[in-house]
Copies of this chain bind each other. A is one copy, B any other.
Amino acid sequence: MKTFETIEGGVCAAKGFKASGTYCGIKKWGAGGEVPDGNESPVSSTKNDIAMLFADVPCNTAGVYTSNKVKGAPVIVTKNNLVKSGGKAQAVIVNSGNANTCNADGEEKALEMCRLTGEALGIPSEQVIVASTGVIGQVLPIEPIRNAVPELVKKLSYDGNIEAATAIMTTDTVKKEYAVKFTIDGKECHMGGMAKGSGMIHPNMATTLNFITTDCAVSAEMLQKVLSETVRITYNCLSVDGDQSTNDTCMLMSSGLAGNKEISSVDGDFETFRDALYQVMANLTRMLAKDGEGASRLITCVCSSAPDLDTAIIAAKSVIRSPLVKTAIFGADANCGRIACALGYAETDIDVNKFDIFLSSAAGKIQTYEKGMSIEFSEDTAKKILLEDEIEILIELNSGDASVTAWGCDLTYDYVKINGDYRS
């Protein structure tokens, strides 16, 4: 797989994308960013709670959405809009602080957000993508959004990416942006994304809000294909707490302004584009895991020599999801029996007499299991390895050639604190 030079600019890195963000009053702290009385939870570093993206031209747009049967109204409206518009979108409106889910008037409000945005930008409302994130089951106030749209339009800028990336945060403690440049058909192309998500994060599907833009010209069909394939091995290999959100949305928009010949089949250019997308999405996924609610350690689980990709994904995710593995890593305890246990209950056909387990970090690497059985290792070395901030659990299934990386984090007191104290 190729890797590419990273660049600044996030969701505005590609040609033709403006962004903006502001505070409209949906998030429950004051306009100065202060935490309300009695709420001691960490909050995002910004007061922004509503963001807008606007492309210079209508974009080929692909989407992947939550598979939760309880779907947020914005998910339903966005899907319908893209059907109506023939897969074209030119703008995004997204709020944090309220998921607009399980509300009797949810779809009406989500449609109104599109209408207000389309009207202000002079585009058809079905070319607007709408997303919301926050508390489920509380009525979304539309007035603050109505009041904010003119300001969002006015603030739109080719370097508004940070304003937008911070506006979509909920319990996130850092913004998540990543961008690369690459060459297709002799033209310099750019791709960048922003993501949010800290709790209620689990596959399937993106389990967060993710917006990725590119100026590389790609056909609608190829765009959907590459997005679906890449979601499977990036966002869908992420688990913070095993809870799958109702509002997960991942959008990929192509302005085509790089001037390349449109990618319309699976060729070398497609592969380059796919590698660039993997790099952007894998890095955003890693940021999401590292900023998982209450996380003190990033856990990367690499499952290799699997009989096929599905087996690798299921095995790696089972380990990443296990509360007992997560608490052991929090305690820097090399209790690898818990990893073996999670491999054993993974819902796939693993040969339990073949797997090896290794622990690795900047401090070193050791093997703890061989052919499904525990082996002797230095507890001191293991402790040193596990006291680092970023831990790798390496699993060799010794049954084939497939491999995958999954991302997660430890389970800490702060996860309990954040979710016990705060209606997030």
Residues of A whose CB lies within 8 Å of any CB of B are 67-71, 99, 101-104, 135-138, 199-200, 241-246, 321-324, 327-328, 330-331, 333, 335-338, 340-346, 350, 352, 368-369, 372-374, 411-413, 415-423
B243 touches A338 (CB 8 A): yes
**Closest B residue to A331 using CB positions:** B420
Apart from A136-B337, A137-B369, A200-B324, what are 10 other A-B pairs with CB-CB below 8 Å? Answer: A69-B344, A103-B374, A136-B340, A137-B374, A246-B340, A246-B341, A327-B415, A330-B416, A333-B421, A412-B416
Contacts of A338 in B (CB 8 A): 136, 200, 243
Most buried by B among A243, A342, A373, A422: A243
* Cα of A327 to Cα of B241 in the assembled complex, Å: 11
A421 and B331 within 8 A (CB)? yes
Q: State the CA gap A335–B136 with chains docked (Å).
A: 8
Query: How many identical subunits does the complex contain?
Result: 2
- Select one of B199, B368, B420 contacting A333, CB under 8 A: B420
What is the bound-complex CA distance between A288 and B138, given in angstroms? 35
Kindly list chain B residues whose C-beta atoms are within 8 Å of the C-beta of A413.
413, 416-417
- Residues in B with CB closer than 8 Å to A246 are 337, 340-341, 344
A138 contacts across to B, CB distance below 8 A: 337, 374
Q: How far is the CA of A68 from the CA of B344 in the complex (A)?
A: 5
Chain B residues with CB under 8 Å of A423's CB are 328, 333, 335
Evaluate whether A341 and B136 lie within 8 angstroms (CB atoms) in the complex, with A413-B416, A416-B413 already known.
yes
Contact of A137 among B67, B337, B418 (CB under 8 A): B337
Per a CB cutoff under 8 Å, which of B199, B245, B323, B341 touches A419?
A: B323
Interface CB pairs A-B, < 8 A, 11: A70-B340, A99-B337, A101-B337, A102-B372, A103-B373, A243-B322, A245-B341, A328-B420, A411-B419, A412-B416, A413-B416
Q: Is the interface of A mostly helix, strand, loop or mixed?
A: loop
Contacts of A350 in B (CB 8 A): 69
- Chain B residue contacts of A67, Cβ below 8 A: 345
Which residues does chain B contribute within 8 Å of A242, judged by CB atoms?
242, 321-323
Interchain CA distance A416-B68 in the complex, whole Å: 28
Contacts of A422 in B (CB 8 A): 331
- Report B-chain residues with C-beta under 8 Å of the C-beta of A342: 243
Q: CA separation between A244 and B244, bound complex, in Å?
A: 20
Q: How far is the CA of A74 from the CA of B414 in the complex (A)?
A: 38
Measured in the bound complex, the distance between the Cα atoms of B245 and A311 in whole Å is: 20
Complex Cα distance, B70 from A136, in Å, reads: 38
Alpha-carbon separation in the docked complex, A323 to B424 (Å): 13
Q: How far is the CA of A67 from the CA of B413 in the complex (A)?
A: 31
- Considering only CB atoms, which chain B residue lies closest to A323 in the complex? B241
- Quote the shortest CB–CB distance from A24 to chain B (angstroms): 21
Would you give the shortest CB distance from A79 to chain B, in whole angstroms? 16
Cα distance, A341 to B99, chains bound together (Å): 12
Interface centre among A103, A137, A368 (most CB of B within 10 A): A137
| Pairwise interchain contact B136-A327, C-beta atoms closer than 8 A | no
CB-CB under 8 A from A323, the residues of chain B are 241-243, 323, 415, 419
- Closest B residue to A324 by CB, please name it: B243
A368 CB contacts on chain B under 8 angstroms: 137
Chain B: minimal CB distance from A220 (Å): 29
CA distance A322 to B71 in the complex (A): 17
